[in-house]
Structures are given as C-alpha cells and as structure tokens.
Chain A
C-alpha cells in the first residue's frame, strides 16, 4: 500500500495537525472560517472516497447523507431545550444512517453507472421530500437555529467562538480521518478494494460482496452525515440546497481533483476546489463554475490520478 514508514506518516500527520491548530490564531477572520469549511467539506469528500476510491462505486448521492445530517442536527437543536451539541450529533447520525440503510439496500444491487444513477435519484427523492414538506423542514427557506455550546454535562460548558469551533471541527475531522484510514487498512477495507479490482473473483473466493457493499455505503453515509452535522453547527442553518445533487457532484469533483483512493487526496481536492471557487468568484462572481468546470473536465481527461497522484509522479521522477 504505502511505501512510507509509519514514522514518516505520523510526523507528517502531526505537522499538518499542528499547522491547522495554529491556523485560526494567525489567520484573519475570513480565512479562519474558510479553513474550517475546508475541513468540513474535506470530511464529506473523505467519506465518499470510501465508496469512490476504495470500493469503486461512484456515488452521486452523498448530498442526501450530508443534508440529512444537517436536518437531523437541526431537529435536535430546535426541539430539545437547551440545544445540546452531542444530541445534535446523535440525531444527525441517526438521520444519515436511516437514509443510508435505505439507499444502501437498493442501490448496492446495481453496479457502475447504474449505481451512480440510482444514488443520484435517491438524493433527489430526499430533496423533493424536504423541499415540499414545508411544515416540518421549512421548505425552500430551510431552518435556522442557535449554535449549541460545547458542553459536557456536570463538567463544563463554553459557548463556541470561531476558534474553539475550528478546533472542535478539526478534532472531529482528524479522528474521523484516522478511523477511516484504519478502516481502509483493515481486512474489511482490503475486501472493499478487492471488490473494486475484481468483483466476480471476490465473490468466487467466498466473500458476501453485497453485504460488504451495504456496510461500505452505510459507513460512508455515517461520516457524510457527521460532516453535515458539523456544517449545520458551523453555519447555524439547514437548507434544501445542501440536499440537491449538485452538492453530490461537487463531492465527486473534490475526489477527482484530489485523487481518489487516498483519503488525503479528496481533502486536498476540497481545499483546491474551494480555493479555485474563491479565486474565480472574484472575477466571475457567481459564474465561477464556468472556469472551475473547465478545469475539472480537463483534469478528468489529463490527470485521472488527481492532484495527489500527479504530484506523486512528479516527485518520483
């Protein structure tokens, strides 16, 4: 798998983590929020990498998991007084898991593009439901709520400011990364990769491929839901736009730009995409997707390994 030694990995991880911990102390407010957003989108991108990069199933429906995570968190924050962060996470994860069971059960019966199209259609089902069920979901306007405090009952309770929120998000994303990395290197992760490489043979060897796929979709959905919860807490609202399939498309873009099957790649891809968007929206205002779309299409054709694969090859030469 990796040619790097564990020492090199942990040193690199510690350096990046340290940089990200220091980041909010030195960056101005705008960029502080920007880095936090990158982390959240990066978590979403990593979650879909489990499917796209490791199992070889391109999901076009991650917005459903992400969005349901948001709405789950919103439900907890609006109905339970006082708003509780941990409850928001639980609700968000339950909502995302519920959707994930549903999507996983049906869509894993299909392969390749059929899987992509089905996940896409599923995310649209949830989009239409959320969009039209105005009494509960707020319809087009979505829901807004107050940000909960970071609290452990009986111990302490501090309201989030932008620094502590950044650190909280960073902690969640870093732990998720380690968990996901562990999963991809576990026997389970190996089976997923063998499904990617040769599904009939994996089945012939005796693995229950369908069951592995269902678990993969669910895992991926859970982490995407977690990203949704973080996003909801960060921005204090949930909106149907985040369930719309364009978000799923952006997630796929993150993956392809960064390099699929690497976990770090999609995170890098998210950062690259958001930077591009930021840069281009200075010149193109809301039409930034024109240059970004062109760059993306060019990358699909000329850089199928993504940025990370490209850099890696460059460094090896």
Chain B
C-alpha cells in the first residue's frame, strides 16, 4: 500500500508543483528583470482568485473567468508598478520589499473588507475522475498541471522569440544599453510586472477549485514561492520551475508521515540546506 501512496503523492506533488511554478516564475521574472522582490505577489494570486469567483458568478464560465482574472490583475499590476515601484527605480532593492509589503497589507485587508472572512468556492470546470489505485483522482488536477505547463511554456517561447520578449531579456542584461538602443525600459518594467501579476492571478483561479478562496490564501503561497525562488536561484526561470516541483514533492512525501501543517517544515529545511551548501541555488550551474 505504501507504494500506492507514494505514487499518489508524487502525482499530487507534481500538480501542486506546477501551480507553484506558475506563481514562482512570475515572482522570479519580476525579480530578475526589475530587482523587485514582490511581497504582494501572494495578494495578486488571491485577488485573481476572487476576480475569478466574481466572473464565474456573472458568466458561469470557468474559462472566461480565467481570462478575465488574468487580464484584470495584469492591469492592476501595471497600475501598481507605475504608481508604487516606478518611483523606486534605482533605489535599494530593499525599499521595494517594504513598498510591496505595505501594498500586500492593503490588498489583503481590502479583500477581507470586500469579500468577508467566509471562503468562496470556484466550481471545477469539469468533474470527471479516473481510477488511481484506491482513489478517484479528478482529471481537473491533471488539467491544472498541464495548463500551468502550457502557460509557462508560452512565457518561455515569448521570451525566447517574441520581439517584446527580446526587449525584456535585453533589459535584464543591461538596462542602460537597452535604453540606449531605443527600448522603452520603464514600460518594459511595467509590462513585466503586469505579466507576473497576470500569471499569479491565473494560478489563483486554477488553484481555486482545490481549496476555498479566502483573503489569507496568498500568504502561504508567497512564502512558498520565496522558498522556491531562493532554492532555484533568484531570477532563474528554469531553476524556479525545477525547485517548485522539487519542494512540492518533498512536502507531498513528508505529509505521508506528518500533518500537512508540519510538512511545511521540510521545505524550510530544504531552504536552509540550500543556503548552507549552495547559496546561489540548487538548480543553477555552479558559478565560475
């Protein structure tokens, strides 16, 4: 039976890992390009889920909700970047932590005020199950993993081949040079923040059906995403994805023996060990 459990937890771990990767890749994209540690990322995830709830109530379609939430939160992200982060450009990255921490307090309490403490539910877009040993495993969970992978893949293709993606990468490499070549660097930053925010919102909607949507759901995720981003190597997209799956698998296996609340400690320990032995991140080439 233990083997069955391990396989089930492996599937669970990969599914959560893909959502986490979606959250963390937005965070790491924002960090890598703008040197901004976005403390409000979890709140964007949470607000995305709420926009999803509202849209589903209005339209009845999960897919429209996913799209609307992504666009609305991307727009919110752009507004946040322009009003709050743009004035901080060129200052110590630490000030961005402080500013986004302030924002996260505002957004979280706004959600509590607007939507109340009772958790909302997003219905699953399809409800089929398949047999995984003794469990009825919902297809939806696998669909989440695939969708997340698709979104991340699209982001990668965009960064690799899209004109604007190349602008973004140029800005990462050398802000001043990019600006000298005529790339509108401030708007690239805005766009990147919007993309990261939209990805957080999308993962919020995708994850909504698995747990309730409430105002505090962002906290857990932003912490996990921070762990992932550090373990994977700050600003490294591939590393974050690998680390997301790694951390989620660790937690999934650990929760075979301890309660899920305590399983978090395993990922904390993974973080500490990483910092001790490989402070640049587990999934990056050894710096020369």
- Chain A residues proximal to chain B, CB less than 8 Å: 58, 60, 106, 109-110, 112-114, 116-118, 120-122, 124-125, 128-129, 131-132, 249, 252-253, 256, 286-287, 289-290, 292-294, 296-297, 300-301, 304
Contacts and interface: CB of A to CB of B under 8 A. Distances in A.
A75 B91 CA distance: 44
A125 B87 contact: no
B275 interface: yes
Interface string B98-133: 110111111011101100000000000000000000
Give the residue among B94, B108, B110, B264 with the most A Cβ atoms within 10 A. B94
Given A110-B279, A112-B94, A121-B223, A300 B112 contact: no
24 contacts: A58-B94, A60-B97, A106-B275, A106-B276, A109-B279, A110-B279, A113-B93, A114-B234, A116-B94, A120-B226, A121-B271, A124-B268, A132-B259, A132-B261, A286-B112, A287-B113, A289-B109, A290-B106, A292-B105, A293-B102, A300-B98, A301-B84, A301-B87, A301-B88
Contacts of A252: 98, 101
B157 interface: no
A128 B97 CA distance: 23
A124 B223 contact: yes
Nearest to A111: B279
Nearest to B88: A301
A109 to B, nearest CB: 6
Nearest 8 pairs between A and B by C-beta?
A297-B102, A293-B105, A293-B106, A296-B102, A289-B109, A287-B113, A300-B99, A289-B105
B98 A121 contact: no
Contacts of A292: 105
Contacts of B268: 121-122, 124-125, 128
Contacts of A287: 109-110, 112-113
A121 B227 contact: yes
